[in-house]
Amino acid sequence: MRSPVALLLLLWTSFLALHAIEIAPLATGPYAVGSTNFEADEPKDAPMQDYLIATGGWLSRERYVAQLLKHPDAVFRTEAKTTKGEAFPVVCYVLYPTPTDNPRAAYTFPYANTGDNVFPHMQRPGEKPLFAEPGRRWPVVLASHGYNAHGLWEVDRWKRLASHGYIVVSIFHGDGRQGWGENHERRPLAVKAVLDRLLGDPDFAAAIDAEHIGVSGSSFGAYTILACLGASDPATGRAEYLDPRLKVGVALVPYAGGNMGKFPFGENFAGLRTMTKPYLALYGGDDRADYVVATTARCGGETMAVVLPGEKHLLSKDAWNDVPTWEILFFNAWLKNDAKARELLAGDLHVRGGVDDHLTHRNGHAVAR
């Protein structure tokens, strides 16, 4: 027999599910944001973007953002290895909650073709992170960008997430350094190497809540995080890139393999069944919506699919009004056990302004409006 409290909670959840809830977009959070060093020189032999997305292969000289760093030893970076033992560098920037009186100056990265290129309260060589609320441990989100994209395109997004009390690590995958197929291995290996480096870092380890680590991926970054969260190859039954330290994932305009094909998660995405972590997919209504719904339905964990009507793979400014609110609420619910966030996500939620964003599927089942 249910207790009175449990019955009230059930009734309240049912009420929320039947009634639309409109909320204002979540603005910048209560914390100022600090950043690791990311100073770079402008290249003289090629456009900056060639280094940010990386170019190379056997036809041309390899370019990667690591080659432009003014202070390589001050930047958060690591090295990953393929299954063949081939090492490749991985460069990141880290954003974190910092005191409002942090005296460090901001730094403007020398590349303007992005929504935000300003690193706030940036560490200079020899400086350590200055965390808000010393002694507190913060949840972590690792960020994986789209194919042939780079981490600068979403600086403002990650600054907003960090301001809500997260340590955010944005990874520069440098996809152009190798072929399309090779990136299916290199990307999840890079995520693991970055997390190893972060948890072992003398400046960050003591400030990390290691039990509450999530991942966020855009487009091909969604494949990356699904692989790391436990999706498998049905041909072998192995979730080769599963990292049990990762607890939850958010995907924006997600890619999860060929359209109903066999690579990399099997025919009809059967390998997603072994991904049992909470997962939110935000997708454009005009961006292969049936594909996104099919992949989300295959996942074995608690899932939500939210549509951004009329949007294609590259989102409009209106859609970007809505995305950060869903992302922050989902991470708050699963990485902070935030009861208010869970309550809002249980209902028919809509973010004011922007597009007519709304939940379409929960745990693989359509949600009526």
CA neighbours within 13 Å on the CB side: how many for 348? 12
pLDDT beyond 60 at 48: yes
Return the structure tokens found at 278: 């909470």
Q: How confident is the model at residue 58 (pLDDT cuts 50, 70, 90)?
A: low
- For the domain that residue 307 is a member of, what is the CATH number? 3.40.50.1820
Cβ(367)–Cβ(361) under 8 Å?
A: yes
Cβ(266)–Cβ(236) under 8 Å?
A: no
Q: 197-211, 233-247, 319-333: which has the minimum mean pLDDT?
A: 233-247
Mean per-residue pLDDT for 47-53?
Answer: 95
Query: CA triplet 369, 314, 217: central angle to 5 degrees?
Result: 80
Q: Is 222 left (phi over 0), alpha (psi -120 to 50) or beta?
A: alpha
pLDDT tens by residue, 92-101:
999 999 999 9
- Euclidean distance between CA atoms 209 and 191, whole angstroms: 17
Residue 16 maps to a domain: no
The mean of the pLDDT values for the chain is 92
Cβ(190)–Cβ(152) under 8 Å?
A: no
DSSP 8-class letter at 358: E
What local confidence, expressed as pLDDT, does residue 11 receive?
Answer: 47
pLDDT beyond 90 at 170: yes
What local confidence, expressed as pLDDT, does residue 271 receive?
Answer: 94
Residue 10 maps to a domain: no
**How many distinct structural domains can be found in the chain?**
1
pLDDT beyond 60 at 216: yes
pLDDT beyond 60 at 303: yes
CA quadruple 308, 310, 313, 314: dihedral sign: negative
pLDDT beyond 50 at 144: yes
Return the structure tokens found at 178: 């190798």
Residue 20 maps to a domain: no
Residue 217 maps to a domain: yes
Q: Provide the whole-model pTM.
A: 0.93
Q: How confident is the model at residue 328 (pLDDT cuts 50, 70, 90)?
A: very high
- Euclidean distance between CA atoms 270 and 362, whole angstroms: 18
Residue 360 maps to a domain: yes
Write out the residue range of the structural domain in which residue 268 sits: 31-366
DSSP 8-class letter at 104: P
What local confidence, expressed as pLDDT, does residue 197 receive?
Answer: 98
Nearest of 251, 218, 81, 97 to residue 166 by alpha carbon:
97
Residue 324 maps to a domain: yes
Cβ(207)–Cβ(167) under 8 Å?
A: yes
Residue 3 maps to a domain: no
Residue 19 maps to a domain: no
pLDDT tens by residue, 107-124:
999 998 998 999 999 999
Query: CA triplet 354, 358, 360: central angle to 5 degrees?
Result: 150
- Euclidean distance between CA atoms 125 and 37, whole angstroms: 7
Q: How many residues make up the chain in this entry? A: 369
What local confidence, expressed as pLDDT, does residue 18 receive?
Answer: 47
Q: How confident is the model at residue 16 (pLDDT cuts 50, 70, 90)?
A: very low
